[in-house]
Structure 1
Amino acid sequence: MTSNIKTDVFTRMVKLSPRFLLALLLLPIFAGLISVLLPAFGWAPELEQTSIGLHGFYALWQTPGLSQMVTLSVSTGLISTLLAFIITLMILAAFFNSPWLNRIQRLLSPILVIPHAAAAIAVGFLIAPSGMISRLLSPWLTGWELAPNGLFPHDPYGISIILGLTLKELPFLLLMALGVLAQPELGKKLRQQHKVALNLGYCPMTAFFKVILPSLYPLLRLPILAVLAYASASVEMPLILGPNTPPTLAVAIMHWFSDVDLNLRIKASAGALLQLTLTGGLLALWLGGEKAVKVLFSGLMTNGQRRYGSAFWQTITLVLTTLVIAFILLSLIGLVMWSVAGFWRFPAVMPDQFVLSHFQNALMQMSEPLFNTLAIGIITTVFATIITLLCLESEQLTAKPMSRFTSLVIYIPLLVPSIAFLFGLVWMQQLVHNQTSFFNVVFTHLLFVLPYVFLSLSSSYRRLDPRFAHVAASLGASPAKVFLQIKLPQLFSPILIAIALGLAISFGQYLPTLLAGGGRISTITTEAVTLANGASRRTSAVYAIMQMVLPLIGFILAWLLPKYFFKSAHR
């Protein structure tokens, strides 16, 4: 009797989990958007504003430099996404079916675990007037004996932001594409088609664009749109690398919302709606651009032309790939060297001495941010993993694949600018006098961690061989027992990878932590961003390295633990 009750509870919980997932993602986001919509039109009783009007938008239009803010946000988001996408396609086309593609993947994969703030700090150290590039070129090429007054970072054109976003998002798009090609049936089919095209005399890059890309691109559309949405409303990269007068729109909105003058929150809400409109416009522009490219280039796909300057484009791709890898490696080397540098005058390539005092001093002050980072990350990721596993189990118990609507909803936190709905959530929290800052931060982190954990686990769960579960069920095992003792052990390695990814996403959250915590919850990321704007370069480097080390430890454990447990099981 007790066993039947437990089985019924488990089954009911599993079947309800997809609805819970939808509610968890949709309700906060739409409630946040509504809560930012009302103040934008003047309804903010807590500020004694109850007359509906366009006061917030009037204040926004009168902001000096608003057009530059909008231009900067749109241009940096669109150009960085376009560059990352084009370089990804060129690398795939040039090295498709080549062992070099796997080598490039191994070199770029670790970049995924680096939070955006740490990547921005590393890029800033690289391109600064006294950065690694200037040191490598001085004085033998530039003649500089003293650090020049450089344009980068913080250039008014957003070139630094574009560079940082491109270097960070390129590995993500490349690995998404390789993940699609790793699907057994699709990957095999595309590789066979590519070989047929080569046998018909097409050069490798032309064969890729004419044969592989039409089948590959539809499966990359959502990741690309997620990258574009993030890049257009990013806060960390522009805050560290971008100009201050004026900044990007997202950074300006954050400053208005955090200002001591609470009336500026009305203007911030109007700005959040403008940011939402800009991001939506960029997504629509990209989708419209797809159709335009399809119409303009459809003739090229069927004209029988087999070569389009293949040797030239192969060389260009090789140079670009080398530059990207060199930029990333130099950024990381410079970051590490600054963290242990003693006296280091310009233009010396190496410091005069290496010291550990920067780490010692930083670690003495890091206990609270480190504890908060780990606690929030672990709680959020464990909760996200449990929800994901229950939703995927629901597909198998009900024999119904997840609806297209639910699949799209999972992407919503990645497609809607966080700066828009997060402000609404903060308004709501203050409206209900919710002062539990830690819980608020965990909840907002969950909105961003859950999609990545789900996308990481879903393919592995759906590829499970159902025969094991059928045999166990035929022997009288309950659904809960099959789930816990048959399926989860088979998914041990994918679950660990999903947990490591969830932790990495949580560790890197800046804006959700800052807003939901009301500035009262400090983490490694919030401290790193604060230090990057005015503190010692050496201390900033230490915090950036800690940002990278924490998720890296998670991925190393996810790689090592399955080997240890499987080795123990075979003894």
Structure 2
Amino acid sequence: MLRFPVIALAVRWIFISVLSLPIIAGVVGVMLPAFGYFPALGQDTFSLSVFAELWQVEGIGRMAWLSFFTGVTATGLAALLAIALLATFYQHSGLHTLQRLLSPLLVLPHAAAAIALLFILAPSGWAARIGAMITGDVLTPQWALPYDPHGVAVILALALKELPFIFLMALSVLTQPQLQTRLHKHIKCAQAMGYATVTAFIKVALPIIYPHLRLPVLAVLAYATANVEIPLLLGPNNPPTLAVVVLQWFNHVDLSMRFQASAAAVLQLLVTLAALASWWLAEQIVASWAKRMRLSGQRNQLSSVIQVFAWTGALLFVITGVLMLTSLVVWSVATYWTFPALLPEGVTLLHWQTALTALTQPLITTLVLGIAVSLVAVTVALLALEAEAGFMSKRTARWQQWDKIAVNITLYLPLLVPGVAFLFGLVWFQQRWLAGSVITHVFVSHLIYVLPYVFISLAVAYRRLDPRYMKVASGLSKSPWQVFWQVKLPMLFGPVLIAMALGMAISFSQYLPTLLSGGGRITTVTTEAVAVAAGSSQRLSAVYVLVQVMLPLSGFALAWYLPGRFFNPAARAKRRQKRIAANDTGT
């Protein structure tokens, strides 16, 4: 019988394989048709003619520029605002309030965020209605947003969606005990020298924090340059962003368009690499400027500007979030609603009845798929971390270093490689060798995206476990499996549930992997929401988005509630005292 540490080590390598092999296979599967090799369509030779034809497509340069510009601008805006918020609210009581305000938007799917923002920015949306109420103009305004040619609506939606992720990742870095103590001492020292709190944070804390944020920010940048859902719903149409046109070409009825779509997918990969390279270059320029700024000796440099930017951004973010949620709720129950009235003439639940009837099967599929993928992801992540804490800790320092590099590379590989650059190739491999198992294709595609987030979520809590508990259990002749099952898991019950809820939220929000891997045969709430939004049914779209929002929020609500009921000695003691007091009263 295999020992538990050996099983954990094997799962750790399975973890690396699950994240790397499908992406490598997918990139190869896209590269081959891009260079003219596709035996299924009668092409078994390599050439550059496909790329030559791609360059002749009208507007291809504009499409690539839109993907690059919207992704870089949105990521830069979200990162700058997150840093400004940290600098302004660090060691401030409002930091936890801000965290509670931003956390719910972390679980909001990209498609849901785009649809909700569409209700505000549309010519008949609430922004126009409020403007009409102020100006008295009863005509629908003719402004560019959304679908503007420069992708401004896409930038706003991406920044709105990615800001909570970057901000909360920064907070997780700040909560690391050793780093937190170090930063506190540095900032106190800077303040004692007369530096303002914001300036001290920018000059002293940010250079220490940012290296820990680099990979998450780069992952956001890669995702933003190749995102499909938001540009599909809010972006320009003539021409669209490159990722959208890749999806359209791959779904074209003319199968020969697969060659052009593959070449465009390779171009999308190059656009993302160019964005990452540009970000690295910007980092070097900012680092050089920041070095001179730190040596300038100015005690209040940019403090007021950063505070104004932070407060303005936070206020706009909260107002937009409230308007988005309110607009969704109102549209989901609205009857007849003319412009420029702020509220509909009546309320009805007919849209909910219609939508929930149509959503029965997609809702079941979404829940089953999300729970299954999250369970597998949590199990793999736990065993991979157990191998790191146990067997891997006994290896040499050089072995540990190589293992850490391998894990970090594979962990961010699905987040750094654009989905349109490997999912189509992965589907080609799946159809070639596993053509009869559609649900397996979708499961694997979801697992590729869920596993990194689950691992990152669990790693922080797992690595902070006090090793003395495990040493005591081992000293009591407990086996490694018993230590893991009876000591570690009860202590990690809360973080495991949070990771499970996060995994389900990520799975619930997957649009492109579901659409491509399922070939349209697997429908989820997200795919149906995008389809309904494209059909211009605002009331049904609002219901679908609210269902999308309630699913992950329900998972997180359970994750926050259950740890207080299970594996909580203080809660058990309190309930026992209540039962004793009730019995005494009854007696």
**What TM-score results when the alignment is normalised by the length of structure 2?**
0.94
Q: Which residue of 2 aligns with 1:414?
A: 415
Secondary structure of 1:403's partner?
Answer: helix
Q: Does the C-alpha gap of structure 1 residues 312 and 71 become closer, same or farther in structure 2, counting only changes over 3 Å?
A: closer
**Structure 2 residue 83 is matched with structure 1 residue 89:** yes
Q: Does 1:116 align with 2:117?
A: no
- Judge conservation of contact 2:62–2:239 (CA < 8 Å) in 1: yes
CA distance in 2, matches of 1:313, 1:47: 57
Query: What's the counterpart of residue 18 of structure 1?
Result: 12
Asked if the contact 2:16/2:406 (under 8 Å) is kept, the reply is no
Query: 1:348-399 deviations in whole A, cap 9, x for unaligned?
Result: 1122222111111100111111111111111111001100000111112215
Aligned to 1:404: 405
**Residues 1:312 and 1:38: Cα distance change in structure 2 (over 3 Å):** closer
**2-side partners of 1:260 and 1:520: how far apart?**
16
Change (3 A) 1:407 1:237: same
The Cα of 1:177 is off from its aligned counterpart by: 0.7
The answer to whether the Cα contact below 8 Å between 2:427 and 2:516 also exists between their aligned partners in 1 is yes
Alpha-carbon distance in 2 for matches of 1:308, 1:474: 56
Please show how residues 448-487 of structure 1 align to structure 2 within 5 Å: 448-487=449-488
Report percent identity of matched pairs: 48
Q: Quote the offset at 1:320 in angstroms.
A: 2.3
Cα deviation, residue 312, structure 1: 4.5
- Cα 1:313–1:488 change in 2 (3 A) is closer
Change in Cα spacing, 1:103 to 1:568, as seen in structure 2 (3 Å) is closer
Cα distance in 1 between the residues matched to 2:256 and 2:303: 59
Do the aligned residues in 2 keep the contact of 1:124 with 1:241 (CA within 8 Å)?
A: yes
CA drift of 1:310 comes to: 3.0
Give the equivalent residue in structure 2 for 1:37: 31
Whether 1:219 aligns to 2:222 is no
Partner of 2:582: none
CA 1:394–1:312 in structure 2 vs 1: closer, same or farther (change >3 Å)?
A: closer
Which residue is equivalent to 1:49?
A: 43
3-state SS in 2 of match to 1:410: helix
- Contact preservation (8 Å) 2:78, 2:163: yes
Secondary structure in structure 2 of the residue aligned to 1:252: helix
Which letter does structure 1 place at the counterpart of 2:416?
A: L
Q: How far apart in 2 are the matches of 1:172 and 1:234?
A: 16
Deviation at 1:406, TM superposition (A): 1.4
**CA contact 2:5–2:391 (8 Å) conserved in 1:** no
Q: Is 1:388 matched up with 2:391?
A: no
Q: CA deviation at 1:247?
A: 0.8
2:333 is equivalent to residue 332 of structure 1:
no
> 1:124-139 residue pairs with structure 2 within 5 A?
124-139=118-133
Listed as ranges, the matches of 1:360-371 within 5 Å are: 360-371=353-364
Q: For each residue in 1:158-202, what CA deviation from the matched residue of structure 2 results, as whole angstroms up to 9, or x when unmatched? A: 000000001110111111111111111111221222122122111
CA contact (8 A) 1:429 1:435 kept: no
1:357 aligns with 2:350: yes
Q: Deviations over 1:98-127 (max 9, x none)?
A: 111211111111100100000000111111
Matches within 5 A, 1:157-176: 157-176=150-169
1:530 paired with 2:513, answer no
Partner of 2:514: 513
Counterpart contact for 1:532–1:540, Cα < 8 Å: yes
* 1:240 matched residue in structure 2: 233
AA matched with 1:209:
I
Aligned to 1:63: 57
Of 266, 286, 289 in structure 2, the residue corresponding to residue 293 of structure 1 is 286
Amino acid in the other structure paired with 2:263: A
Q: Could you tell me how far apart the structure 2 residues matched to 1:139 and 1:467 are?
A: 65
Q: What is the letter of the counterpart of residue 522 of structure 1?
A: T
* Residue 580 of structure 2: aligned partner: none
Retained in 1: the 8 A contact 2:63–2:241?
Answer: yes
Alpha carbons of 1:25 and 1:69: their partners in 2 closer, same or farther (altered >3 Å)?
A: same
Question: Which residue of structure 1 lines up, in the alignment, with residue 572 of structure 2?
Answer: 569
- How far the C-alpha of 1:59 sits from its partner, in A, is 2.4
Partner amino acid, structure 1, of 2:37: W
Aligned to 2:584: none
1:201 aligns with 2:194: yes
Q: Aligned AA for 1:270?
A: A
- Determine the C-alpha separation between the residues in 2 that align with 1:130 and 1:188: 51
Contact 2:81/2:309, CA 8 A, preserved across alignment? no
CA offset digits 1:522-545 (Å, max 9, x no partner):
000001111111231000111111
Structure 1 stretch displaced more, 561-570 or 192-201? 561-570
1:552 corresponds in structure 2 to 553
TM-score by length of 1: 0.97
Unaligned runs of 5+ in 2: 394-399, 577-587
Greater mean alpha carbon deviation, residues 213-222 or residues 193-202: 193-202
Superposed displacement of residue 309, structure 1: 5.0
- Taking the aligned partners of 2:304 and 2:499, their CA distance within structure 1 comes to 40
1:464 is displaced (CA, Å) by 1.2
